[in-house]
Amino acid sequence: MLRRMLAEGFGTFWLVFGGCGSAVLAAAFPHLGIGFAGVALAFGLTVLTMAYAVGHISGGHFNPAVTIGQCAGGLFPARHVLPYIGAQVIGGIAAGAVLYIVAGGAAGFDASASGFASNGYGEHSPGGYSLLACAIIELVLTAFFVLIINCVVSRQSLAAVAPIPIGLALTLIHLISIPVTNTSVNPARSTGVALFQGGWAIEQLWMFWLVPVVGAVIGGAISRALGALDERGHCDA
At 63-107, the pLDDT tens digits run: 999 999 999 999 999 999 999 999 999 999 999 999 999 999 998
Give 102-148 pLDDT, tens digit per residue. 999 998 889 998 899 999 999 999 999 999 999 999 999 999 999 99
Residue 96 is predicted with a pLDDT of: 97
Does pTM surpass 0.75?
Answer: yes
Q: Please, what are the domains in the chain?
A: 1-234 (1.20.1080.10)
CA dist 56 → 8, 59, 116 (Å): 11, 6, 32
